[in-house]
Amino acid sequence: MLKANKKTLILTSLVMLIPVVIGLIFWSRLPDPMAIHFGADNEANGFAAKPVAVFAFPLGLLALQWLMPVLLSLDPKRKNISPKMTALVLWLIPIISVFVCAFMYAFNLGYPVNITFFAELMIGLIFIVVGNYLPKTRQNYMVGIRLPWTLANEENWNRTSRLAGPLMIVGGLLIVILTLTGTLTVLWLLLIFAVLLLVPIIYSCWLHLARGL
């Protein structure tokens, strides 16, 4: 898995090092400690020493990035994971890393940034992208609706994925719309998450118990 995705890993690793370079460029202007965590009210509620924020955070995510293909290679059903899904998995962490670090630096440099707005927007877009790929995902232990009965029965997996994919797209679109209109609340977000999580589980359980799949 490492060899097959070597180019993608190198490219994504270079992308993930961008925040470190930016941190070094603005080192003298960044406060110490730096705000690294923010609440729903867009206020900082977590802080870390500048070296930790600039180096440890992105490099920790970089280590996780190189761990992903190792975990994928350990999947007994790894041959079912398509190259497109593998690429999606390997690009998610770099995108999140660059996004988080960019807004973290902007906030700490004193620029007015609505981090909560962009975080919610990113969550909605990720749901849309993942939902688009989910119905095409074959049985595996890394990506998808991984339940005992979906992993035991291919038909159950396929039907559950075909339901969960469009549902996730709708949920992602709803999050994007509510974010853009300024009406997304924590309650709305929790409700959407609950629907996206529980509906596929209940459906797959019904297929298993009532249909024998």
**Per-domain boundaries in the chain:** 1-112, 114-213
pLDDT at 79: 86
Query: What are the tokens at 31?
Result: 């406060």
| 25 CB neighbour count, 10 Å cutoff | 11
pLDDT at 199 over 80: yes
Helix (H) or strand (E) holding 34: strand 34-38
Question: Tokens representing 16?
Answer: 């993930």
- pLDDT tens column, 8-41: 889 999 999 999 999 999 999 999 999 998 887 7
Q: How far apart are CA 120 and CA 180, in angstroms?
A: 10
Could you read off the pLDDT of 77-127 as tens digits, one per residue? Answer: 888 888 888 888 889 889 888 888 888 999 999 998 888 888 899 999 999
Number of residues in the chain: 213
User: Which two structure tokens, joined as six digits, stand for 7?
Assistant: 């180019």
pLDDT digits 0-9 by tens, 141-164: 888 899 999 999 999 999 999 999
Q: Which two tokens stand for residue 191?
A: 């409700």
Mark out the alpha helices in the chain (DSSP H runs). Answer: 6-16, 18-25, 50-51, 57-73, 83-108, 115-133, 148-152, 154-180, 186-210
Structure tokens at 213: 């799949």
Q: Which two structure tokens, joined as six digits, stand for 27? A: 């080192």
CA-based nearest residue to 29, from 85, 88, 90, 109: 109
